[in-house]
Amino acid sequence: MKLLVTGGAGFIGSNFIRYLLGEHADAAVVNFDKLTYAGNLENLAAFAARPEFRSRYRFVRGDVADPEAVAAVCGEGFDAVINFAAETHVDRSLEDAAPFLRTNVVGTQTLLEAARRLSMQRFVQVSTDEVYGSAPDGVAFREDALLHPSSPYAASKAAADLLVESYVRTYGFPALILRCSNNYGPYQFPEKLIPLTIANALEDKPLPVYGDGLNVRDWIYVEDHCRAIQRALLQGRVGEVYNIGGVALRTNLEVVRTLLGLLGKPESLITFVEDRPGHDRRYALDSTKLRQELGWLPCHSFEEGIEQTVRWYRSHSDWLARCRSGAYRDYYERHYQQRGELLARMRGKA
Ligand code: NAD
Ligand code: DAU
């Protein structure tokens, strides 16, 4: 099985490559990634150096929105493409949506077109629960729910999903779409809530919580997501959409308090900041289809997964520090400056 994984230097893609090659001795992966601020070859360095994986893993730097680069890599011949490549951070999409449209929409179409021309046998689009928008209390969205994205990020992912569906309907192209909830675990870039909270708390810095902190997310340990992708890749029906939910609905405040408890840090670090514009209140997915058709169940409870995650970040403080240097610091400061007085307070602590 020869796979093209796009965006494999990011959080979920790198976890997926490690998982898949560990599970399938006959699999080989080409990781095609632009290496944006979120792409980090360090995420796979130790793994790629191991003799048992060296011959089955290769990195190619490239942009999914560049038709020539995509045609060249696809021309190597693959059994399947798994498209993780994306701009992924909602807050950044509120500041500048252009890179989101380019990578998430044009990039997906560019990949679809190259794969279609080469009659590729399978295309897995890694999508998100954000395409459904906010779920009212008591509702968990099924795959046939309307798409109602709130942020430019979510809209770009919804557009990509629609393009995938158009290729299925128009050309009979063998693609399927996976919509997952919020992932957490090792190697997540520390702009996202969980690694950001851990990193700030370890340095006794304020923990920015948007609005009233009562927005709900459905958390899934990244390895459970990777296993669902593997199942869908091997056994999923083309033309179908599968939701992948963690069934660990928590408010952001609950998540932050859990992390503080595990880290032994005081709740006084919690700092409420201005809310994210258009902030979806609640995400919740119904994953019955995935469970029934593909026999998938999450293996990690939130309590166990989050403990493991805290241990991982504690033991990878160098990785965390490198992620939080340079351009990241500039982004972070600019971003939180717009969120009231937090920055001044952080400088006071520095
Ligand atoms: P990430 O931001 O950690 O990584 C994204 C990767 O894509 C990076 O390695 C980056 O360099 C690469 N990339 C960006 N633009 C590219 C381009 N033009 N060409 C090639 N590579 C490019 O993201 P993640 O959290 O690992 O998310 C991976 C996928 O999963 C995304 O499609 C995202 O929408 C989806 N998803 C994420 C979550 C989550 O909780 N993180 C949940 C559901 C779905
Ligand atoms: O739901 C799946 C999505 O999860 C993915 O599609 C996205 O790519 C991924 O980034 C993630 O989006 P979120 O916006 O939910 O993740 P984030 O970690 O940015 O925020 C999680 C929640 O925490 C959200 O309600 C906003 C809040 N938050 C976030 C940050 C960064 C805070 O309160 N403070 C923060 O500093």
SS (H, E, C) 214-264: CCEEEEEEHHHHHHHHHHHHHHCCCCCEEEECCCCEEEHHHHHHHHHHHHC
Whether the Cβ atoms of residue 121 and residue 79 lie closer than 8 Å to each other: yes
d(CA 277, CA 346) in angstroms, rounded, equals 22
Q: Residue 85 falls within a domain, yes or no?
A: yes
Is residue 181 lining ligand 2, measured as CB closer than 6 Å? yes
Q: Domain tally for the chain?
A: 1
Is residue 34 lining ligand 1, measured as CB closer than 6 Å? yes
Using DSSP's 3-state secondary structure scheme, residue 279 falls into: coil
Is residue 282 lining ligand 2, measured as CB closer than 6 Å? no
pLDDT in the model for residue 348: 60
Closest CA relative to residue 189, chosen from 315, 33, 42: 42
What spatial distance separates the first Cα and last Cα of the chain, rounded to whole Å? 50
The ligand minimizing its distance to the Cα of 215 is 2
The model's confidence at residue 273, banded by pLDDT at 50, 70 and 90, is very high
Whether the Cβ atoms of residue 256 and residue 109 lie closer than 8 Å to each other: no
pLDDT in the model for residue 72: 98
Mean pLDDT of 140-152: 98
The ligand minimizing its distance to the Cα of 110 is 1
More confident residue, 333 or 131: 131
Ligand 1 centroid from CA 303, angstroms: 25
Ligand 1 centroid from CA 16, angstroms: 12
pLDDT digits (tens, 9 = 90+) for 73-87: 999 999 999 999 999
| Domain coverage including residue 292 | 2-182+222-245+278-300
Q: Residue 140 falls within a domain, yes or no?
A: yes
Among 242-251, 296-305, 323-332, where is mean pLDDT lowest? Answer: 323-332
Is residue 128 lining ligand 2, measured as CB closer than 6 Å? yes
Q: Residue 39 falls within a domain, yes or no?
A: yes
The model's confidence at residue 326, banded by pLDDT at 50, 70 and 90, is confident
Q: Residue 45 falls within a domain, yes or no?
A: yes
pLDDT in the model for residue 329: 79
Ligand 2 centroid from CA 193, angstroms: 6
pLDDT in the model for residue 78: 98
Residue 272's DSSP bridge partners are: 209
d(CA 136, CA 217) in angstroms, rounded, equals 13
Residue type, 28: A
Number of helices and strands in the chain (H, E) = 16, 12
Q: Which of 250, 276, 282, when mutated, tests ligand 2's pocket best, judged by the most ligand atoms within 8 Å of its CB?
A: 276
Q: Which atom of ligand 2 is found nearest the CA of 191?
A: 31
Is residue 89 lining ligand 2, measured as CB closer than 6 Å? yes
d(CA 80, CA 140) in angstroms, rounded, equals 30
The yes-or-no verdict on residue 331 having pLDDT over 60 is yes
For the chain, give the mean pLDDT.
Answer: 95
pLDDT digits (tens, 9 = 90+) for 180-236: 999 999 999 999 999 999 999 999 999 999 999 999 999 999 999 999 999 999 999
- CB neighbour list of residue 223: distance below 8 Å, 6 or more residues apart: 15, 19, 185, 299, 300
Is residue 38 lining ligand 1, measured as CB closer than 6 Å? yes
pLDDT in the model for residue 346: 56
pLDDT in the model for residue 340: 60
pLDDT in the model for residue 291: 98
pLDDT in the model for residue 350: 43
Mean pLDDT of 242-264: 97
Q: Residue 102 falls within a domain, yes or no?
A: yes
Ligand 2 centroid from CA 90, angstroms: 7
Q: Which atom of ligand 2 is found nearest the CA of 211?
A: 33
- The count of C-alpha atoms lying within 13 angstroms of the C-alpha of 33, restricted to the half-sphere facing its C-beta, is 26
pLDDT in the model for residue 343: 54
Q: Residue 347 falls within a domain, yes or no?
A: no
Look up the CATH number of the domain holding residue 56: 3.40.50.720
List residues with catalytic annotation: 129-130, 153
Ligand 1 centroid from CA 348, angstroms: 34
Of 196-210, 316-330, 334-348, which has the strongest mean pLDDT? Answer: 196-210
Q: Residue 334 falls within a domain, yes or no?
A: no
Strands 182-184 and 175-180: unpaired
The ligand minimizing its distance to the Cα of 87 is 1
d(CA 58, CA 29) in angstroms, rounded, equals 6
Q: Residue 343 falls within a domain, yes or no?
A: no
Is residue 185 lining ligand 1, measured as CB closer than 6 Å? no
pTM for the model: 0.97
